[in-house]
Amino acid sequence: MALTITEFFADELSYFYNNNFSIIGRFLFLATDYENTFRAYLKCLATKYQHYFCCEIKYFKDCNDDIKKLLEKIRKARFQCLIDLFFDKIIKVDNVENYKNLFINAKNCRNFIAHELCIGINVEWEKDSFRTYLQDTVCNECSDMVYCTLLMKQLISAYNKEPPVCDIENSKERILKWAVSTVE
């Protein structure tokens, strides 16, 4: 009879293992949500400002108002190009450098979670100090990413002429608290 995954790893499962990997899973969920929201927001911008994208921005000039081609090119664009586009050409805000840095920090956090967080995890996963690292350090890093995700969701709601989704600060705190909660 074949063993289930839980039975196969039963000897290795522990309180710390379950808690640490639950937290990592929630961080991965937040990173994926950030990425998906960013892409959805870009699609809103491309739809609303299609002619602007295709005529005014050198990177997109070969799209010739073809929305499918434009969306595909946006999908492949370098992140910094898109951030510059957001804040230099389309969205006019005070303290533009603060917003650029916020989005760059968010993207760096997303990349860290997706590509680096679990490197070396086979050594540390069973330790309480690793959970503390996840709860303190990674949670602080994720703050900008969660804020940007919620901000973009608000902007998408405004684009769709819908009421705001939530209060950004309160939601950010609740999400971060959920991300580092432990399994009992």
Q: Which tens digits make up the pLDDT trace of 1-11?
A: 565 656 555 55
Q: Does residue 97 lie within any of the structural domains? A: yes
Per this entry, what is the length of the chain?
184
pTM for the whole structure: 0.78
Q: Does residue 142 lie within any of the structural domains? A: yes
Q: What is the tally of structural domains in the chain?
A: 1
**Average pLDDT rounded to a whole number, residues 12-24:** 74
Give residue 133's pLDDT: 80
Asked whether residue 53 carries a pLDDT value surpassing 90, the answer given is no
Q: Does residue 40 lie within any of the structural domains? A: yes
Give residue-wise pLDDT tens across range 116-151.
887 766 666 667 777 788 888 788 889 999 999 998
**Average pLDDT rounded to a whole number, residues 55-69:** 64
Q: Does residue 43 lie within any of the structural domains? A: yes
Give residue 79's pLDDT: 64
Q: Does residue 156 lie within any of the structural domains? A: yes
Distance CA 77, CA 80 (A): 8
Give residue 176's pLDDT: 92
Domain span at residue 159?
24-179
Which has the higher per-residue pLDDT, 109 or 99? 109
Give residue 58's pLDDT: 61
Give residue 184's pLDDT: 62
Q: Does residue 175 lie within any of the structural domains? A: yes
Q: Does residue 9 lie within any of the structural domains? A: no
Q: Does residue 8 lie within any of the structural domains? A: no
In contact, 74 and 42? CB cutoff 8 Å = yes
Mean pLDDT of the chain: 77
Which stretches of the chain are DSSP H helices? 5-8, 15-48, 50-56, 67-76, 79-84, 96-115, 121-124, 128-133, 139-159, 168-179
Distance CA 60, CA 13 (A): 50
